A and B are shown apart, each in its own frame.
Chain A
Amino acid sequence: MYIKLWLLAVLCGVANGTLATPIIQHWQSPSGAKVLFVENHDIPMLDVALSIQAGSSFDNSEKKGVAGLTHHLLDLGADGINEDEIARGMADIGAQLGGSFDQDRASITLRTLSSKAELEKSLEIMALVVQSPTFAEKIFSREKVRVIAALKEAETKPESIAEKEFHQALFGKHPYGSPESGDVESVEKISATDIQKFYRDHYLAKEAVVAIMGDITRAKAEEIAQQLTGKLPLSESPVALPMVTMHITSNEKRIAHPASQSHILIGVPGMARNDPDYFPLYVGNHILGGGGFTSRLMKEVREKRGLAYNVYSYFMPLKQPGAFQIGLQTKKEQADGALKVVRDTLAEFIAKGPSESELMASKQNIIGGFPLRIDSNKKILDYLSIIGFYELPLSYLDDFTRNIDKVTVAEIRDAFKRHVNPKEMLTVVVGAPLEEGK
């Protein structure tokens, strides 16, 4: 016990003594958009991320894929500037336009040099892309064909087939059950008008979150946030998501595939980003299958038995509970054996929870490694977006290590018991030996 207390004291020293978390400035733009800004002049560059509540969960069930296609088409033509002028305009000044897309969120990112000419030009283009996209029929038709081709290709890949089946079976009719880019059948039905309507209904100024990180002043950041959101649509906020049905009945799906390995996914609906159990589940999962080489699943499946190269578990924290997912790939012939090892490991973990020493080791890793989470502009920008989009406290980073440190073995055991019942889980095996083995 003496040793434990001493170690914790050292850890706190690391967490609170020597590490300054970035100072986050926060305001609402006249447009209604929420802005988070960290001023930093170490590198003459600027990162901006605009996050919109326009992920795949806002798709209409008849036309899955509209949200993804809308996001994809943004930088392929805007008022007075065509797709080539957008790409060349950015390239000419060394700026990079990017983005990401998931169930909740559509985001558009910019990385640019902060020197005046480059900054002005890149923001001018980004402002057009996010606020005046044209979704021209010609471009739309071309990209729709490409998206369908990519979806058909994905349908041949064991990992994509497994993910699609898994989410469908896990979330049923809830929008989280739909594939992020839709499927071939639903995308076929989409028209350019659907895209325009989706944009008008969902790319809303008052729902937008602007994260800004880098080499500008507060005054300039205020100007940029307004420049990027002042002309976004003003429609009503979209209807809230339906609730995820948390309970599932035990179910196992096996799908034939010629691959040499079986792709195995096991899971349940997990936790939302604002779940009060967030930290116990996060730390518990770190011990179970999130902590890399030292996690239990890694030890049991890979280190002890050589059954897989890759085995993991994670919670996908979304607005509503996203998936809790365990995954691995293993030679077909040993799939059932590997599945048993995973299930035994999980059952044991749920029944008994982690040991004190495992919890200690995990805390040491997460708390000691905290500086690595905020050691670049890019990483800080991502935190700003998450904090803004999921309405986490502005002190999230300051409180992070303390929240990790507070977690106890009992809390983990209790939280896991309430969220993951090993007897009521979904299993998807793609590339399975079809006879049910044991």
Chain B
Amino acid sequence: MKGYLINIVLLLGILQVNAQAEVFEHTLKNGLKVIVKEDHRAPVVIQQIWYKVGSMDERTGVTGIAHVLEHMMFKGTDKVPAGEFSKRIAAAGGRENAFTSYDYTAYFQQLHKSKLALAMELEADRMQNLKLTEKNFSKEIKVVMEERRLRTDDEPHSVLQEKMMSVIYQQHPYQHPIIGWMSDLESLTVGDARVWYNRWYVPNNATLVIGGDVKAAEVFAMAERYYGGIAKRALTVRHNFIEPKQTGIKHLVVKAPAELPHLVMSYHAPALSKTLQENKISIEDSGNQDWKVYALQILAGVLDGNESARLNKSLVRDQQIASAAGAGYDATSRGPSLFTLEATPSTGKTVNDVEVALRNEIKKLIKDGISHDELKRVKVQVVADEVYKRDSLFYQVMQIGQMESIGIGHRAIPVMLQKLQAVTAEQVQKIAEEILQDDSLTIAVLDPQPLTGKPKHQSIGAAHVH
């Protein structure tokens, strides 16, 4: 097994050449940035439009409006009545959907390459002509409430996550759930949706990413034809939230109907975009000032990158204290980030047991650092994932849109890869010591409750049915 590192290094070189060569960008006069990722493997195309607005741009009392507006974007314009958008995309053989995060809102269609003009025409139309009616809003808000019940209220781990975020962040809007608090959903109006749409759905607040079997020059011309006539508008100044420094450990307990307890430990951690903004530099010029985010990515991989990574090996396999354990870190957010460890106690063990076990892993990291084998293993996986990524056009387009929307830009993607490869074992140890401190830690515990009125079966005979 001596040969593999050489192959990986060679591959990395090839990847970067490819990555640069296949992505083209052009900004229209109205500020809409258009990025094209050519990929000629199959006769398909993906259009994604990314608005740089997410739930973090909301204010108290109107939480959830970013996501509600995403739903309302399917409710029609003068030219394209409600339901017609989806109908036309479907008739063109397309698939479509949309998603909202803390940081952005994005819409996409996947089609045969010959249908790109149709997708552009429809997307450009709803960027400027959305018809928001009381009637459609009052129906759709109910759908969103059902979505909240399904994904949050009846999901103990989501409830834990939601309540934990509101304890972790004192000022930053990440304290509010993306889908919004139920009481806010109940009081939102179509007027709120209109304000949101008019404020943020403008070409100069969007990135259009097209990927697939297309030619960049033709896509730019087509984008000019459909989006070029939309007027740019001044954007509301965004508030720059500086989360006050946490000055001591926080604890919370959430009771919910479940069988197994669960423990989550989250530490405040730097995010890439904030690091670059604070130092007023681009990623290319930042030298090693942003080393911490790459070291944290490696750290997450060392703890949870494969089945025999530290947490699973130690807590689940060797000590059998946990039935599951994991770690995570996301460097790519507009706002601040977290480094998270979590575990589910195994039968007969408690959340205290898993907390002690997780803390022991942290102590070991800080005291002894990581091995060179561990470091190498994570780096190799990162490079291999870059190769596998090429099998998913959707993911590649998505990554470009995301990097643009958080303010770093897609050209950072290969640079980040290089910087990851440069991380040393000493840096990983150093960052573990710096970040994994009690003063910036929040611990959340799911305290499982019995289902009141245990499953009772009541069979109703045929006569009652419909």
Contacts and interface: CB of A to CB of B under 8 A. Distances in A.
A12 to B, nearest CB: 13
A375 B393 contact: yes
B346 A149 contact: yes
A302 interface: yes
Contacts of B92: 364, 368
B29 interface: no
Contacts of A150: 323
B260 A372 contact: no
Contacts of B320: 142, 145
A299 B86 CA distance: 11
A423 B1 CA distance: 64
Among A43, A75, A371, which residue has the most Cβ atoms of chain B within 10 A?
A: A371
Contacts, number: 251
A369 B94 CA distance: 6
Nearest to A145: B347
B42 A94 contact: no
B150 A329 contact: yes
Given A43-B387, A149-B346, A434 B458 contact: yes
Interface of B is mostly: mixed
A118 B260 contact: no
Interface residues of A, number: 92
B334 to A, nearest CB: 26
A43 B462 contact: no
Contacts of A308: 143, 146
Given A92-B4, A113-B7, A294-B87, A375 B460 contact: no
A310 B146 CA distance: 9
Contacts of A254: 458, 460
A158 to B, nearest CB: 7
A351 interface: no
A156 B150 contact: no
B138 to A, nearest CB: 8
A424 B234 CA distance: 61
Given A111-B388, A158-B154, A310-B150, A252 B459 contact: yes
Contact of B44 (A44, A84, A303, A375): A375
A74 interface: no
Given A91-B306, A329-B146, A258 B466 contact: no
A297 B5 CA distance: 53
B112 A87 contact: no
B457 interface: yes
A364 B89 CA distance: 10
B465 A252 contact: yes
A361 B41 contact: no
B259 A368 contact: no
Contacts of B237: none
Contact of B462 (A117, A153, A251, A310): A251
B94 A368 contact: yes
A285 interface: no
A231 interface: no
18 contacts: A90-B306, A94-B384, A111-B388, A113-B387, A115-B7, A115-B11, A142-B320, A145-B323, A156-B257, A251-B460, A253-B458, A259-B153, A261-B154, A294-B83, A369-B94, A371-B42, A374-B42, A423-B466
The 8 A-B pairs with the shortest beta carbon distances in the complex, nearest first, are: A368-B93, A94-B384, A306-B142, A87-B308, A375-B42, A369-B93, A87-B307, A309-B147
